[in-house]
Copies of this chain bind each other. A is one copy, B any other.
Amino acid sequence: MLQILGLIGSKWSILIIGQLRDRTLRFGELHRTVNGISQRMLTLTLRQLERDGLLTRTVHPSVPPRVDYTLSELGATLLDSVVALGEWATTHRQEINDNRSRYDATHPRQPPS
């Protein structure tokens, strides 16, 4: 259970699954569309998602190489929840940032001596 949540927990997993919502994407396309992810983390996260069977990895034996990533059926069952999470984050982003600012203002880290 903890491991399963750990998988979902990765913000990168959420973003990647969100990107594959309704289309197949290549490695480079994911790299460009997933904001701020490094090549390393993209590779590692994709491997993990593949291992868990949430997406399928298709290698086209061409030159130059081409690798496609598509949500599996299992991955698709996660879509609704993931999309909901993403929308929640977008919707309440400002509110949360405000809360953080207010909290930080009223809870000084180093109580003034």
Beta-carbon contact of B74 and A81 below 8 Å: no
- Judge whether A77 is part of the interface by a CB distance below 8 angstroms: yes
| Complex interface: chain B residues within 8 A of A95 (CB) | 53, 74
What's the least CB distance linking A93 to chain B, in Å?
6
Beta-carbon contact of A35 and B2 below 8 Å: yes
For window 1-56 of A, CB contacts with B under 8 Å fall at 1-2, 4-11, 14-15, 35-36, 50-53
Beta-carbon contact of B89 and A80 below 8 Å: no
- Judge whether A92 is part of the interface by a CB distance below 8 angstroms: yes
Digitize A46-82: 1 where CB-to-B-CB distance is under 8 Å, 0 elsewhere: 0000111100000000000000000000100110110
Task: From the candidates B11, B53, B80, B100, name the one contacting A96 in the complex (CB within 8 A).
Answer: B53
| Complex interface: chain B residues within 8 A of A1 (CB) | 35, 89-90, 93
Beta-carbon contact of B80 and A92 below 8 Å: no
Beta-carbon contact of A85 and B85 below 8 Å: yes
Beta-carbon contact of A100 and B52 below 8 Å: yes
What's the least CB distance linking A12 to chain B, in Å?
9
Beta-carbon contact of A11 and B15 below 8 Å: no
